[in-house]
Structure 1
């Protein structure tokens, strides 16, 4: 089981989690960030720095956010971003796409 980035990250993407991840497993989409479930080592450092409290252990996702476990997994499948398992976000850079569920969400008004 891995950590999961849920809906509070959409249209925010603070990035503190990306900077502190020791294994570089947090990837950037157009509107949100995604944790690669096969690369995450479950250290939890990202949880402690997330200002939007968008990161949860997969087993502790709030009921309204459970679908984001699949969103984080499916983002890396060939049907969404086609990233597969690149072994580190730093070399990949920002993806020009997002999971269809994220795309379907109305944009957040950021103040």
Structure 2
């Protein structure tokens, strides 16, 4: 049972989760992170570290929409093993509902 990053991460990308992950299963896109489902060991240490509360177990109803997105982009995006810079406007995006439409930047579309 892997954990899943949901749309709460979009435009926030705090990356506190990356620092505690023992298996380095996070992958980084321009606007969010995802978890590789085959690499996640279901330890759960990442979930409470996320200030945006964007990480959920795959049994959570919110994960249904985001599990396939995590799997798809974990195969494409680069692996991240260290916390990088947080977007300057991350706090402004924290808690904004329905951020899926911001998954990609204009440059990625």
Shift of 1:106: 3.4
2:43: which partner in 1? 43
Q: Give ranges in structure 2 of 5+ residues lacking alignment.
A: 85-99, 104-109
Runs (4 or more) in structure 1 with deviation over 4 Å come to none
SS of 1:105's equivalent in the other structure is: helix
Q: Normalising by structure 1, what TM-score?
A: 0.68
1-structure distance, mates of 2:77, 2:23: 20
Verify the 8 A CA contact 2:9 2:32 in the aligned structure 1.
Answer: yes
The number of residue pairs the alignment matches comes to: 87
CA displacement, residues 13-60 of structure 1 (integer Å, 9 cap, x when unaligned): 000001110111011111000000000000000001111100000111
Shift of 1:82: 6.9
> CA RMSD, aligned part only?
2.4
Aligned ranges for residues 52-63 of structure 1 at < 5 Å?
52-62=52-62
- Does 1:11 pair with 2:27? no
2-structure distance, mates of 1:6, 1:82: 16
Distance 1:105 1:36, change over 3 A: same
SS of 1:19's equivalent in the other structure is: helix
1:72: which partner in 2? 70
